[in-house]
A and B are shown apart, each in its own frame.
Chain A
């Protein structure tokens, strides 16, 4: 601790004792200063969640689309996540569906990340599957296997919700939206 030589500098608002600054420099920050300068120990990954599991968590706390929003103990950010998830295939899934699906996926030897992607995106055609699978030809996943995976998706995972198309020209877009709906419902 530095002893202050004059009374005037002790009362100066901008005076910071040098030792305090040094102490700060030596402390190791685990986070960027945007959160806090306390050291926080952590385990970064305690489990990956599918979109459905997060939606289920929010639902169990009382999130919903109607006017009870103000009453439920859910923050604005959580509601934004809820709104996003309700537009993805996660809103039509249940826990049994996804556990059943991941069990049956074992035959195809997919990576965990790919199974997660498939559950979250619910691909409806080979093209959608192509963006998810990494190097299918190198791993022996041929056209037959891809069709097998798609059949499994169609059989086990319910079809995604019909997302309303937005656009500048609303009349044209709603027509396309209806076509999208019929393609999905098949």
Chain B
């Protein structure tokens, strides 16, 4: 889910940080620049280490030193095929939306929800739809009571919209993960709880 990435960048340290030790100051500036931002390699979660900082030249007309910094960050980037435990966030007629707390743009579109299923208006929540899986005449509801295991199908980085759409219904998501719950062992954890005893049947199918 996470990996390390090495980057090199030119960093300007504002003058009011100069009373701090250099490493701390550079780290603060890097955090402001990179933390919680989506790069082409994924979502930057944390600054892991600063390998080197060179330079420290003050450009004319500027009061702040500029350093060339080589550093390592922890990036959230799941690989395709990774199984992740997430929580249910909301659902609508297009599918489900799951969240990890720090990352909320995980979508499970309707074709990747196990069939046969049906979508009905949620009796507890006026605006939401509820998805129900029908298997062997038993109904399994998808809601926020348990962790939901899903497998990553695709990660996309939609380009930044240059113009504001007329109906700004959805906030722009720079990184979108598409997942599937249509496989053995995926979906809410409670679905598979009693399955350890039915091992033979599972292997036969």
Contact = CB atoms under 8 A, between A and B. Distances in A.
Interface string A8-37: 000000000000000000000011111110
Contact of A113 (B36, B41, B82, B185): B82
Nearest to A90: B1
Nearest to B99: A84
Interface in B77-120: 79, 81-85, 100-102
Nearest to A48: B3
Interface in B133-186: 143-147, 149, 151, 157, 159-160, 174, 183-186
A6 interface: no
A175 B123 CA distance: 22
B192 to A, nearest CB: 5
Interface of A is mostly: mixed
Interface string B193-204: 101100100110
A53 B151 CA distance: 21
Contact of A130 (B1, B45, B81, B185): B185
A40 to B, nearest CB: 5
Chain B interface helix/strand/loop/mixed: mixed
Interface in A123-139: 123-132, 134
A45 to B, nearest CB: 6
A142 to B, nearest CB: 9
Interface of B: 1-10, 31, 33-41, 45-46, 48, 72, 74, 76, 79, 81-85, 100-102, 124, 143-147, 149, 151, 157, 159-160, 174, 183-186, 189-190, 192-193, 195-196, 199, 202-203
